[in-house]
Structure 1
Amino acid sequence: YMIFDTLFAIDSKFKPHPQMCEGFEASADKLNYSFVLRDGLKFHDGQPVRGADCVASIKRWMARDGLGQTLATVVADMKGGDDKNFSIQLKEPFPLLIDGLAKISSLAPFIMPERLAKTDPYQQVTEMVGSGPFKFVKEEHQPGNKVVYVKNNDYVPRSEPPDWASGGKVVKVDRVEWVVVPDVATKTAAMQNGEVDWWENPPTDIWPVLASTGDIDLVSASIRPLGCVRFNWLYPPFDNVKMRQAVMMVASQADYMTAFVGDQKNWNECASFFTCGGPMANKQGSEWLTGKRDYEKAKQLIKEAGYKGEKIFLLDAVDQPLIHAEVLVTKEALEKLGLNVEYVAADWGTVVTRRASKKPPAEGGWNIFATGWTGADLLDPSTNVMLRANGDQAWFGWPKDDPLESLRTQWLKAQELEERQEIAAKIQQRAFEVVPYIPTGQYEFKTALRKNLKGYIEAPAFFLWNIEKT
């Protein structure tokens, strides 16, 4: 969001608003959409933003994003030229078109120059060129150490007040240095001594230390993030649904959250596949997580699954406190079930690489890993990529379940909130039955800012506009 911008943007009430777009018109049958870009949009290379850039960027996004992939199946045509206009023609109505173009979290439909957007969607673009409120300073980039951004003086913000990703992105500082400091003690000292202004995500045990400093604010997220444990459906033993059910049957959100966060005031149980506090959260099927943790019944399921003692490769990113805590709790539960656990300790970068591998677990693949998501990521079936069950095209773990996919399609086509909520309950029921992953609870997230920083925008992503240093 520092470098790139989106055509539409979501506010704190989950409503999309025009951002790069001035507006749009839709035909009565909701099959033809015409968009007009607002005046003054310019990429960081000095070129104006054109309709052709938008079309190419949307195509790139549709190839990778879960919601975008579904949208792609109903797009008949997209047209954009050298002016500020572009259009989308649909084969059938798609009620979430504008919501998709406003998606706030991974993967956001960022707009980039056509020449970059035409890069293979599965390859990284070679330049960081967008039209957003900050520019990337390539010459000062130190991979793994420091990223530098400067104010984009050519950026023309909207006139509306900022609200999440929507509204005016008014930059009030000339320069932002994003510094990577692996050591917690070093980061703590840097905040205490005034060497840095903002710590994105301090561990829970450091909160009291920072709060006692006196000139540091700890700001909570309005929507708590969530943890989860993910299975690999491609290989034994978790290609068998009874094995996945057995692990869920003994999973305790209280154990997970206590291990990570500690004090219960800083976490809550969330027995839903959708963010608790969001419009799609429900209790359908939740007894899988809220009922008695039954090890004997779980062991019976393991027996019925025909488990043969295969090694279970459990990935642990030991440098990530949430993930490390989740993995240790999972390891204990698996061993208590009598399963053969191969614990793999690594850093986050290694886990990210290995979880993408479809190789057999013993040959560089995996069986289980843990992770966490922002509340915005898991709000509904359009954003929750872990509920995709389209096999090889699904997120890491590659679940394949046609009924779950069919329900998701029904949800995307539903017109009214009440209908979507009814379908979301059915999706959740099916998810508890087939277990694409285990929700491990919802936890407090705090970011630490020095008190001389004003204008912080609380949102699921970190936004640096509107902030001034007094």
Structure 2
Amino acid sequence: MISRRLALQATGASLLGGALFGFRPAQARKRKVLRAAMLNELRSLDPVQSGSYATRNHAYMIYDTLFAMDADGHIQPQMVERYEVSEDGLVYRFTLREGLLFHDDRPVTAADAVASIRRWAARDTLGQMLLRAVRRMTVLDSVSFEIVLERRFGLVLHALGGPSTRVLFIMPERLAETPPDQAVAEQVGSGPFTFDAARWKPGTIAVYDRFAGYSPRPEAPSWEAGGKVVHLDRVECVFAADPQSAVNALLAGELDMIEQPPIDQLDVLKDDAETVLLEQNALGNQLFLRFNPLWPPFADPRLRQAAIACLNQEDFLKSAIGDPLYYESCPAMFVCDTPLATPEGGVSLLKSDFERCKRLLREVGYAGAPIVLLHPLDQPVLSQLAPVARQLLERGGFKVQMVPLGWQAYLDRRHSKAAPTAGGWSIFLGTANSVDALDPISTATLNATGETGYDGWFDDPRLEEMKRRFVEAPDLAAEQEQARAIQLYALQELGTHAYLGQYKLPMAIHQRLSGVLPGTAPHFWNIDKVA
């Protein structure tokens, strides 16, 4: 949906694009080249090894998927031509589409698909659950394979094609045999773009060229599903440390797109006659605060409950987003206005209860052990959250040490299991695409499998059993009841995380672009550009 656009003469725009983004405008007119300023730096290329959104977005460019979710939330075949499910729901047979090629011109085979499933499933929450239900996966011939289950698993297709921080992307078998904790050595996929590894500068620029051998589906595109028809010759994704420079470059016509413009510049962009603001991610994002239960003070769940009592969503949203037009408080863990949304238990996150926090601290005998709170400085939304958390937690009686970090250092430190005072952490704040928080399985902060799980590494068999019952629920009503129970347990007893509200920020594009699609990630197929 395109938001309102008002015409006004843009003045004083800085013509810094050529120097900042590393291109010469005279060359761009020879081919259709789209230049986009992306929100997060691309530093890791392997979508199994890394769960970052930047890596996932990169992977959508060069890989394809067996299935994909459309705008109605339905899982549709993508690389799969047809599939069959046995009457007892235990056998799934899949046949790939003809003409699928990898970028090295080798055909995509069923062996590639099975090897990719195994590697992905070792790291993805839903994939791990699927593997535990699988009796065997068998290659039947060059284009067909079979999954046989030990027991019914209602989310097979969702696992193979649903959105996630770790999407199941299909890569050649020889690369899929790489251990999942090691990065693949090459970027060879079968997606609509190829990756120019020679031009990649980590954290600065990534370049993609149209893959002439890609065979799109015949259906119209819908989110990640349907036909991925490419009209562009090249896409250059740049990662600007200075968001204001990106805005200036867009206003000067030297950029075509900003994935997420600075909030304080939205009015300027609205008023520019050649800029369009559009709602690319219809579901928006969810803020959250994550605890580390491996070390004191949050090894004690009562102290996690005390910290949760200090919080309220409005303070975080007002500080990070500012304009209520773009945010809303939401008591539902699984995103408001969705099938699994319930306010039960979550209403407590709408108002701080400092007296409860102080009472719990007294009962536990909290002696002032410092909370190490990570503070990423160079992310426009996340940079505003840690100071709010510090203020609220200190008001409740905690002692807080806020650690300022650049984005990559922040990611590295939150991946560390070291003690908070030795390079680890007690709390970090993050943002998740709301599509990754629609149910208990997709929500990364509900992974309770221990060391193989999401940062925080909760190990809680009870939560995992509740999630198993959710997967095996026979209908929506049963899913809703199980989701309600999980929300209450995770928030009010276990204290896995606190969800801190929802927001939607627009994408900014130059009016010479058309065909920008809504979806769960920024996509570059279907887009055309007027020279």
TM-score tier, shorter chain, comes to over 0.9
Q: 1:337 aligns with which of 387, 392, 396?
A: 396
CA distance in 2, matches of 1:185, 1:429: 42
Take 1:410 and 1:80, find their aligned partners in 2: how far apart are those partners?
30
Aligned residue number for residue 113 of structure 1: 172
Matched residue pairs, number?
469
Q: Partner of 1:441 in structure 2?
A: 501
Structure 1 residue 294: deviation in Å?
A: 1.9
Question: Which of 108-117 and 123-132 deviates more?
Answer: 123-132
2:149 to 79, 90, 105: 90
Q: Determine if the alignment matches structure 1 residue 236 to structure 2 residue 296.
A: yes
Measured in 2, the distance between the counterparts of 1:166 and 1:456 equals 14
Structure 1 residues 112-155: Cα deviation after superposition (integer angstroms, max 9, x where no partner) = 00000010101111111110011111222222211111111111
- One of 366, 378, 383 as aligned partner of 2:425: 366
Partner of 1:34: 93
Matched residue, 2:386: 327
Partner of 1:280 in structure 2? 340
Question: Conserved in 2, the CA contact under 8 Å of 1:172 and 1:466?
Answer: yes
With 148-157 and 338-347 compared, the bigger mean Cα shift is at 338-347
2:258 maps to 1:199: yes
CA distance in 2: counterparts of 1:71 and 1:139, whole angstroms: 37
Contact 1:355 1:396 in 2 (8 A): yes
Q: Which runs of 5+ in 1 are unaligned?
A: none
SS at match of 1:313: strand
Residue pairs, 1:39-438, within 5 angstroms? 39-80=98-139, 83-220=142-279, 221-290=281-350, 292-433=351-492, 434-438=494-498
Whole-angstrom distance in 2 between the partners of 1:11 and 1:407: 28
2:62 aligns with 3
- TM-score normalized by structure 2? 0.87
User: For residue 462 of structure 1, what is the aligned residue in structure 2?
Assistant: 522
Aligned residues: CA RMSD: 1.2
Structure 1, residues 152-177: CA drift from partner, whole Å, max 9, x if none? Answer: 11111000000000000000111111
Which of 77, 81, 84 lines up with 1:18 in the alignment?
Answer: 77
In 2, Cα distance between the equivalents of 1:120 and 1:176?
A: 30
CA distance in 2, matches of 1:306, 1:393: 32
Instruction: Name the SS for the 1:404 alignment partner.
Output: helix
AA in 2 matched with 1:408: K
Q: Is the 8 A contact 2:224 2:520 kept in 1?
A: no
Q: Which amino acid aligns with 1:391?
A: G
Contact 1:57 1:112 in 2 (8 A): yes
> Shift in Å at residue 308 of structure 1?
2.0
Structure 2 distance, partners of 1:319, 1:49, is 40
1:293 offset after TM fit, Å?
2.2
- Distance in 2, matches of 1:134 and 1:211, equals 31
Q: 2:509 and 2:255 mapped to 1: Cα distance?
A: 9
- How far residue 415 of structure 1 moved from its aligned partner, in angstroms, is 2.6
Q: Is the 8 A contact 1:66 1:382 kept in 2?
A: yes
Kindly indicate whether the alpha-carbon contact (under 8 Å) linking 2:140 and 2:146 is maintained by their aligned counterparts in 1. no
Shift of 1:81: 6.0
Task: Find 1:450's aligned residue among 479, 488, 510.
Answer: 510
Contact 2:123/2:452 (<8 A) preserved: no
String of CA shifts for 1:380-423, please: whole Å, max 9, x gaps. 11211111222222211112333222111100111311211111
In 1, the alpha carbon distance for the partners of 2:136 and 2:297 equals 44
Task: Kindly state the Cα deviation for residue 456 of structure 1 after the two structures are TM-superposed.
Answer: 0.8
Task: Please give the secondary structure, in 1, of the residue aligned with 2:314.
Answer: helix
Secondary structure in structure 1 of the residue aligned to 2:491: helix
- Mapped partners of 1:194, 1:21: distance in 2: 40
- How far, CA to CA, are the matches of 2:157 and 2:405 in structure 1? 40
* Contact 1:223-1:277 at 8 Å conserved across structures: no
Secondary structure in structure 1 of the residue aligned to 2:402: strand
Alignment partners' CA distance in 2, 1:159 and 1:5: 15
Whether contact under 8 Å (1:54, 1:80) holds in the other structure is no
Q: Quick check: 2:415–2:455 contact (8 Å CA) kept in 1? A: yes
- Which is worse superposed, 390-399 or 148-157? 390-399
DSSP-derived class of the 1:321 partner: coil
Instruction: Say if 1:274 and 1:378, in contact at 8 Å, map to a contact too.
Output: yes
| Secondary structure class of the residue paired with 1:73 | helix
What letter matches 2:502 in structure 1?
A: Q
Q: Is the 8 A contact 1:242 1:304 kept in 2?
A: no
Identity %: 40
Contact preservation (8 Å) 2:284, 2:505 = yes
Output the CA distance in 1 between the equivalents of 2:438 and 2:92. Answer: 26
**Does the CA contact (< 8 Å) of 1:229 and 1:439 recur in 2?**
yes
2 CA distance for matches of 1:170 and 1:354?
Answer: 40
Question: Match of 2:245, SS?
Answer: helix
Q: Is the 8 A contact 1:67 1:100 kept in 2?
A: yes
Residue 209 of structure 1: CA displacement? 1.2
In structure 2, distance between residues paired with 1:180 and 1:391: 34
Q: Which amino acid aligns with 1:285?
A: G
Residues 315, 366 of structure 1: 8 Å contact kept: yes
